[in-house]
Structure 1
């Protein structure tokens, strides 16, 4: 009985169609489809079960793609048997410190400035806010601006009315929401670093399995899609994070030269804001206003012009090349992917958006090329 079954299965496996390809029996085709449905169902339920930790897994995967070439390079020059654990641990610690250092610095400075700001508000409510010297240097409407300042801000009653309109209780609620968001972000960061550590420690096995799975599911073009995804993630990291840091450094130097208050904090704010295209201008505007309040009109204008020039050159020339150059993604696709991904997915969308656009553009190239070939024929 067993031999008959084997012989029948063998005959099924040896059956071939007119082109010579083996033909699967109906039961095996049904099992293959059922396995595919089961795999999709399990994948969807797994993503649903992860809940808000999906973002941590996504960040861990993004950081692993970016850091993997560095880990391989270091591993090639370090033959220690513990290198597979120590190198990923070192990368995780370095990334953790890179995130923690600015946060601690900002928190410390905010704590220092909070006391001074409280005293300033109390003094403003008692004595009013004196008019700055640069009001008299305005090219137009000097008298009107000075009269408005004297009527609304120099008078203590005007300051109290302004603070009443600002509704400080809503500001306290906003601060509470920011604190809750910071705590939630810290938890997600810890889990992201944990995911990153395990992905880097098993990097060779994970990358090999992903390559095999992609080849089985999509064939040769699946490998091309995989390369497009990796290139988009690494290009986004270079074009967003590294360019944003460079913009923050250059514009931060102008803050120091112009004598802006808290130039280090303003530089960090500019670097973080500049990681998102067209958002760095708001940080530069804040710095210009603070410099104006000190009475330095010329320095404020110089900082504004220099900052906008740096942002324009970086956003329109350097960033598109870094993000879309290696994967042949046009600038419009890059920009739509970044902004659309940010709006839809949050911060992780800065990488998810360009990845989806890169894959969509690759599919577009495949489809249009086949269409052109048929049209030519």
Structure 2
């Protein structure tokens, strides 16, 4: 065996061991990837807050504890208040509907009266018998209610797992604040890329995460407020409740807040309030839905090069592949891919430019 083959075999063996070790580490971390990534998202989004606190206190551990506490307060306290408000609003709405249904002979008769105008309209437009249309609508409503009950049951069943993931995310977020500089330095040291390229990749990931977090928050607030105002103006029940629901639904690509305002327009139409139904429809299309195209680019400006179509597919693909956390992972993956291809282009074109300069 020649001396040159020794290092070559050693390098191959070490590379194989490194790949195997990385695969085993991935298997070990796989059950915890969602809470770890969620903690990473929150920690990166809160870095300005941590640096502001750390610059004043000059004590990293205390700064990490305080920043973690503030993040928990900023996320969980509004969520708890929103949950209580939604429960109260839902109870009030149910009592009002129960009273109206009792005045009209019970829930069955109330639903029949509610569905009769749109059923008659669809029957007149399509030529289908009204009883067939009503039966199809009731069957679809029954299917949707069964799916909703199953989803609620699975949500309650996974409550313990969700709380465990939340505690793990808080724990990881604290150490990301505390050891962030050391982690950053370790990545720069161990990445097999020039330091400038590694810094560029890390900055791309950070910008993508911050832009998406701020974008989701801004769009959710704006669309929630616009939906609540529409419900208040048209006299529908519980505008705060449905505005809050719309803010949450704004996270979902494609359907989004239409899940809230489109049924509201149908309800107004069913009650014969044609003007209010038309207003709700136009307001939903032109104001609520279109606000995303105004607010999100303002937030993303200067942080990411992705256009609206790319963001859409990043969100849809991330949601399909990774679930809820994919709403953040999808744009990060697209941003990193764009950055890597840009680096490759620069690496290939730079020698050619230098050669042309030398020849000139």
TM range (shorter): 0.7 to 0.9
Matched, 1:97 2:69: no
Per the alignment, residue 21 of structure 1 pairs with: none
Equivalent in the alignment of 2:326: 349
- 1:271 maps to 247
Partner of 1:10: none
CA distance in 1: counterparts of 2:29 and 2:349, whole angstroms: 43
- Is 1:233 aligned with 2:209? yes
Tell me how far apart the structure 2 counterparts of residues 25 and 67 of structure 1 sit (CA, whole Å): 51
Report what 2:48 is aligned to: 69
The equivalent residue for 1:47 is 26
Instruction: Tell me, in whole angstroms, the C-alpha distance in 2 between the residues paired with 1:36 and 1:112.
Output: 64
Would you say the 8 A contact 1:236–1:351 is kept in 2? yes
The one of 189, 205, 210 aligned to 2:166:
189
Contiguous gaps of at least 5 residues in structure 1 = 1-23
Greater shift, 89-98 or 101-110, is seen at 101-110
1:20 corresponds to which residue? none
Q: TM-score, normalised by structure 2?
A: 0.77
- Structure (1 or 2) with the larger CA radius of gyration: 1
Deviation of the 1:319 alpha carbon:
1.8
Q: Which stretch shifts more, 80-89 or 237-246?
A: 80-89
The alpha-carbon deviation at position 318 of structure 1 amounts to: 3.3
Q: Does 1:57 align with 2:33?
A: no
Q: Matches of 2:147 and 2:227 in 1, distance apart?
A: 33
Matches within 5 A, 1:4-19: none
1:65 deviation in Å?
Answer: 0.8
> How many angstroms does 1:226 deviate by?
1.1
Aligned residues: 344
The alpha-carbon distance between structure 1 residues 187 and 293, as it changes in their structure 2 partners (threshold 3 A), is farther
Counterpart pick for 1:208 among 162, 178, 185: 185
* Distance (Å, rounded) in 1 between the aligned partners of 2:114 and 2:70: 51
Q: Deviations over 1:283-330 (max 9, x none)?
A: 221332344455433223212212222344333343245346423233
Deviations 1:77-121 (A, max 9, x none): 335683342232222332222333333433454466567767859
**What corresponds to 2:106 in structure 1?**
123
Deviation at 1:27, TM superposition (A): 5.5
Query: Who is 1:13 aligned against?
Result: none
2:304 maps to what in 1?
327
Q: 1:64 touches 1:199 (CA, 8 Å); kept in 2?
A: yes
Pick one of 289, 293, 316 that aligns with 1:316. 293
The match for 1:86 among 52, 60, 66 is 66
Deviation at 1:169, TM superposition (A): 6.6
**Structure 2: gaps (5+ residues):** none
Which whole-Å CA distance do the structure 2 matches of 1:252 and 1:108 have between them?
A: 16
Q: Which secondary structure does the structure 1 equivalent of 2:244 belong to?
A: helix
Structure 1: how far apart are the matches of 2:123 and 2:330?
51
| 3-state SS, counterpart of residue 51 of structure 2 | helix
Change (3 A) 1:361 1:284: same
Q: Which has the higher contact order (CA 8 A, sep 6+)?
A: 2
Please state how far the C-alpha of 1:44 moved relative to its aligned partner: 2.6
**Cα–Cα, structure 1 residues 54 and 256, in superposed 2: closer, same or farther, change >3 Å?**
same
> Do the aligned residues in 2 keep the contact of 1:288 with 1:304 (CA within 8 Å)?
yes
CA distance in 1, matches of 2:148, 2:223: 30
Task: Please provide the CA RMSD for this pair.
Answer: 4.1
Equivalent residues of 2:227, 2:242 under 8 A apart: no
